[in-house]
Structure 1
């Protein structure tokens, strides 16, 4: 059963689409995000998007199966993994999202075309009751389609404030009246910078440990 409590949206995330997206025309900046495909035993069966975190690592969603080069999974079992991926000349600036700011959600579509959707950030946090991580994700109202999971949520200053995860599977009118999302066009979920940064510090501690070379070499 889906529960909605004051200023906390609790429910499940679904895949598919929740609106219309447009082709990405951002040009040279899109070498900071890219498409990832599943590997063995089902190569190219599943796909998602990923964002470069720094020179050597990128981030994407954990729910996409069999993604190769995964170096670290979220400590709370949240929907996040780090993958070993060398930056292709560019990696974005990251920061925390700001309530009310305009954002662009970016990622690959099922037709292998990079797509975007416009929206803004909302204050209400979201908890996915299916993953039991306890983490609170963030909400924007930009449209998402299947394949955009793991793609960047980009603020108007060009900073990445999180990565797309999915969208909420309920009636929008119910959400608006019960959880303070007045004016939202839809409810799209993203993993905010704070969670990604927290997990990076844990990965970094592993890399700095005496046996950390085994992670760095993968």
Structure 2
């Protein structure tokens, strides 16, 4: 079975950008994870259920999370982890289109509170080689450390991606091409990177 899903990549150090808010509904959409050793050197990451046995999170969260990893894609910064989701309502998965309104959910690393933000999917671009690597998009939604690995929802309630990082100023040098020869970044300083890939 092939699932087409949009994913949010790590483009730079994760910093807070844009508008985000405490939102108790995020607690039902994203799972809370300590990353590293809690209290000593821990941080917070998020994930969300894919199946009764697996959840999806950001790759950089899974690498240091205290859970077993089923699959990891370092280029796309995404990972499938083992997680008991028995009895939980599983989200519908679908792709998103440019112009779609989206909502991001996760946990704020500074407060450990469930957090959300919303925005519009502005553009898509390739991480490396067109049609062979992860397809990214840009959104004007806000984000904060800890939300990495949390779900991105479309207005119809379907999950269209996983949040992995913020893009505070401009595109990285390794983003080489976009459809129509456009570059990531540009007009907005506080954009989030999104990526679409195929998971098997």
TM-score by length of 2: 0.74
**Quick one: structure 1 residues 75 and 146, their matched pair in 2 at CA, closer, same or farther if it must change by over 3 Å?**
closer
> What secondary structure, in the 3-state scheme, does the structure 2 residue paired with 1:31 have?
helix
- The yes-or-no answer on 1:147 pairing with 2:146 is yes
Distance, in Å, in 2 between the alignment partners of 1:37 and 1:158 is 27
Question: Partner of 1:56 in structure 2?
Answer: 53
Instruction: Name the structure, 1 or 2, with higher relative contact order (CA <8 Å, separation 6+).
Output: 2
> What secondary structure, in the 3-state scheme, does the structure 1 residue paired with 2:28 have?
helix
Shift, 1:68, TM fit: 2.5
Shift, 1:181, TM fit: 6.8
What runs of 5+ residues in structure 2 fail to find an aligned partner? 1-9, 172-181
Question: Partner of 1:71 in structure 2?
Answer: 69
Q: Give runs of aligned pairs for residues 171-210 of structure 1, distance below 5 A.
A: 179=183, 186-192=190-196, 195=197, 198-199=198-199, 201=200
- The yes-or-no answer on 1:120 pairing with 2:120 is yes
> What secondary structure, in the 3-state scheme, does the structure 1 residue paired with 2:102 have?
strand
Shift, 1:123, TM fit: 2.4
Question: Partner of 2:99 in structure 1?
Answer: 100
Q: Aligned residue pairs: how many?
A: 174
What runs of 5+ residues in structure 1 fail to find an aligned partner? 1-10, 173-177, 202-218
**Quick one: structure 1 residues 126 and 142, their matched pair in 2 at CA, closer, same or farther if it must change by over 3 Å?**
farther
Distance, in Å, in 1 between the alignment partners of 2:73 and 2:100 is 29
> What secondary structure, in the 3-state scheme, does the structure 2 residue paired with 1:63 have?
helix
Distance, in Å, in 1 between the alignment partners of 2:184 and 2:30 is 32
TM-score by length of 1: 0.69
Question: Is the 1:124–1:179 contact (alpha carbons within 8 Å) kept by the matching residues of 2?
Answer: no
Distance, in Å, in 2 between the alignment partners of 1:25 and 1:137 is 28
Q: Return 17-26 or 69-78, whichever deviates more.
A: 69-78
Question: Partner of 2:162 in structure 1?
Answer: 163
Distance, in Å, in 2 between the alignment partners of 1:144 and 1:180 is 18
Question: Deviations for 1:70-129, whole angstroms, at most 9, x for unmatched residues?
Answer: 33333464201111112252221110012101111111002111111110112232528x
**Quick one: structure 1 residues 184 and 153, their matched pair in 2 at CA, closer, same or farther if it must change by over 3 Å?**
farther
Which structure has the greater CA radius of gyration?
A: 1
